[in-house]
């Protein structure tokens, strides 16, 4: 059964919009089916070009076990730098993307045409990412622990932020963290005020665990983007009781989900962007696996609910007070997020008492808030405006390219006069010295040469 990752799929016309059946939609649907069968996947899953610039704090004894196990033992991650856009004018401070612990950062670069990395690079930003993609798939899924949070706050993120800043001549860094990565970024900035951080953006990061379930079920595709009809049908089937002795997979809810998922795909066959998004999400789910369902359990394992509500969190045997954070912060909540509901994010406006905090919402669930199709128009422009607002005054404009603004011509100094600088309208002193319009000594003053002009037809 095809499932969506918590509200990630959104039709073009808004969530729950079905395509009208017209000759044009039928032709587009047939074209999409033909291209999918003959040419392959509709989604462009090529990642934006990047290069690894750092592998984190080193632990020489860990590498004897091999790269994958060595990274897991040393708690290391890789820091990547994305290639700059060939035609955009580079500007602003660098951006560092922080993915959740134990999950890869592919969500930031889901597919071409719906990639936050592609959008930021197109805006002329220097984009970096700290990623533990090498750890994904090298062990059974398990929630994070307090030791993992301590390692990121004490070692990994401070090292990565300074590394990115050094690559840009000491410029401060915009940190954008998603889910647990946003919490680690906030704790790191609050614990070390001297880090070169320009701003922090926390996407779907909770500040209250009362509404965060330890294991949130994945919503079927019909509920995420099947439209009001299919979503209502599936919801009603899920409420029907299961007769005694019937296996769970034969219940009305399971059968309804199994039947409505294909109908949802069929109803959007004419929407090529919808189908491409569905393929990209399925590819991401195949990469992460069951680890995606343990986000809530990781929050509960790393933190105490009362500590997070008061903003004082135990990290490595000490207490880090989020109330002391003085960096500008943008908090983003997913409108349909069932892993970290919006009210769990809104609590951050009280916890971050000293910071210049801004709260906004975006369509989608825990994943859709980052890479959903509706976020392209509603969240990404807001994020870019926030980064522009808190860019350092000096900026990071590319001085190697000539400016397109025309230069002003240099002002010419006034001609000097003999015997001082009299006023231009001063009268003649004697009959021997006159202005340019009078005769002097019976001779007409020599006129100034005329400026040469072009005449058509003259060789």
Q: Where residue 242 falls among pLDDT bands split at 50, 70, 90? A: low
**Is pLDDT at 459 greater than 60 in this prediction?**
no
* Sign of the torsion formed by the C-alpha atoms of 220, 222, 223 and 226: positive
pLDDT tens-digit profile of 201-211? Answer: 999 999 999 88
Structure-block tokens of residue 59: 């632990």
> Taking the CB of residue 26, how many other CB atoms lie within 10 A of it?
12
pLDDT tens-digit profile of 101-131? Answer: 766 678 899 999 999 999 999 999 999 999 8
**Is pLDDT at 288 greater than 70 in this prediction?**
yes
At 417 the pLDDT is 42
HSE-up of 2 (CA within 13 Å, CB side)? 23
**Pairwise CA distance, residues 181 & 194, whole Å:** 20
Percent of the chain past pLDDT 90, that is, above it, reads: 31
- Please tell me which of 376-380, 401-405, 443-447 the model is most confident about, judged by mean pLDDT: 376-380
Strand runs labelled E in 102-182: 127-131, 173-178
| pLDDT greater at residue 178 or residue 275 | 178
pTM over 0.75: no
**Pairwise CA distance, residues 402 & 390, whole Å:** 25
Of 38-52, 100-114, 233-247, 411-425, the least confident: 411-425
Helix H or strand E encompassing 279: helix 272-288
Max distance between CA atoms of the chain, in angstroms, equals 129
Q: Where residue 275 falls among pLDDT bands split at 50, 70, 90? A: confident
**Pairwise CA distance, residues 370 & 275, whole Å:** 18
**Is pLDDT at 315 greater than 80 in this prediction?**
yes
**Pairwise CA distance, residues 33 & 24, whole Å:** 14
Q: What pairs with residue 202 in β-bridges?
A: 177, 331
**Is pLDDT at 407 greater than 80 in this prediction?**
no
At 135 the pLDDT is 54
Q: Where residue 342 falls among pLDDT bands split at 50, 70, 90? A: very high
pLDDT tens-digit profile of 175-185? Answer: 999 999 999 99
Q: What's the mean pLDDT in 371-400?
A: 82
Helix H or strand E encompassing 312: strand 312-315
**Pairwise CA distance, residues 138 & 246, whole Å:** 37
Structure-block tokens of residue 180: 């647990």
At 238 the pLDDT is 53
* Sign of the torsion formed by the C-alpha atoms of 356, 360, 364 and 369: negative
At 410 the pLDDT is 41
**Pairwise CA distance, residues 72 & 290, whole Å:** 18
> Taking the CB of residue 419, how many other CB atoms lie within 10 A of it?
6
Q: What's the mean pLDDT in 287-301?
A: 81
- Note the CATH architecture for domain 50-217+286-389: 3-Layer(aba) Sandwich (3.40)
Residue 220 burial (10 A CB sphere; 0-12, 13-18, 19+):
buried
At 263 the pLDDT is 62
**Is pLDDT at 163 greater than 80 in this prediction?**
yes
At 9 the pLDDT is 38
At 448 the pLDDT is 59
Domain spans of the chain, in order of start: 50-217+286-389
Q: Are 169 and 320 in contact (CB under 8 A)?
A: no
Q: Where residue 431 falls among pLDDT bands split at 50, 70, 90? A: very low
Q: What pairs with residue 95 in β-bridges?
A: 127, 174
Q: Where residue 24 falls among pLDDT bands split at 50, 70, 90? A: confident
| Conformation bin of residue 351: beta by default, left when phi > 0, alpha when psi is -120 to 50 | alpha
**Residue 305 DSSP SS3:** helix
- Please tell me which of 99-113, 264-278, 321-335, 400-414 the model is most confident about, judged by mean pLDDT: 321-335
Q: Where residue 427 falls among pLDDT bands split at 50, 70, 90? A: very low
R_g of the chain computed on alpha carbons: 31
- How many residues are there in the chain? 459
Nearest Cα to Cα of residue 22 among 373, 269, 228, 277: 269
């Amino acid at each position: 059964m095809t499932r969506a990752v918590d509200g990630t799929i959104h039709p073009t016309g808004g969530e729950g919009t079905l395509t009208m059946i017209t000759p044009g939609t039928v032709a587009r649907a047939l074209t999409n089916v033909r291209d999918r069968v003959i040419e392959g996947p509709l989604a462009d899953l090529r990642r934006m070009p990047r290069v690894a610039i750092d592998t984190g704090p080193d632990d020489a004894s860990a590498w004897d076990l091999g790269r994958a196990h060595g990274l897991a033992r040393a708690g290391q991650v890789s820091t990547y730098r994305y290639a700059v856009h060939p035609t955009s004018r580079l500007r602003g401070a660098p951006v560092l993307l922080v993915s959740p612990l134990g999950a890869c950062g592919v969500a930031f670069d889901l597919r071409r045409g719906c990639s936050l990395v592609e959008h930021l690079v197109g805006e002329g930003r220097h984009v970096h990412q700290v990623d533990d993609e090498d750890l994904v798939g090298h062990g059974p899924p398990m929630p994070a622990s307090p030791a993992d949070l301590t390692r990121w706050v004490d070692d990994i993120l401070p090292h990565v932020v300074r590394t990115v800043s050094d690559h840009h001549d000491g410029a401060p860094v915009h940190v954008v963290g998603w889910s647990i990565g946003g919490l680690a970024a906030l704790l790191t900035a609050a614990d070390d005020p001297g880090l070169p951080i320009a701003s922090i953006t926390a996407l779907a990061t909770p500040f209250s665990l009362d509404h965060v379930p330890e294991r949130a079920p994945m919503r079927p595709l019909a509920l995420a983007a099947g439209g009001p009809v299919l979503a209502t049908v599936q919801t009603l089937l899920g409420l029907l009781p299961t007769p005694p002795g019937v296996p769970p997979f034969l219940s009305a809810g399971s059968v309804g989900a199994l039947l409505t998922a294909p109908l949802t795909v069929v109803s959007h066959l004419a929407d090529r962007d919808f189908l491409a998004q569905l393929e990209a999400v399925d590819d991401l789910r195949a990469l992460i696996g069951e680890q995606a369902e343990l986000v809530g359990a990781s929050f509960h394992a790393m933190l105490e609910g009362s500590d997070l509500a008061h903003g004082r969190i135990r990290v490595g045997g000490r207490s880090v007070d989020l109330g002391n954070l003085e960096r500008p912060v943008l908090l983003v909540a997913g409108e349909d997020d069932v892993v970290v509901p919006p009210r769990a994010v809104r609590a951050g406006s009280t916890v971050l008492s000293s910071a210049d905090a801004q709260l906004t919402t975006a369509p989608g669930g825990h994943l859709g808030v980052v890479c959903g199709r509706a976020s392209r128009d509603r969240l990404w422009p807001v994020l870019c405006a926030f980064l522009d607002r808190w860019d350092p005054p000096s900026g990071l404009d590319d001085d190697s390219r000539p400016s397109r603004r025309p230069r002003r011509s240099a002002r010419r100094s006034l001609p000097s006069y003999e015997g001082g600088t009299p006023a231009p309208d001063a009268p003649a002193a004697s009959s021997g010295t006159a202005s340019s319009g009078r005769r002097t000594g019976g001779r007409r003053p020599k006129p100034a040469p005329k400026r040469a002009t072009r005449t058509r037809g003259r060789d």
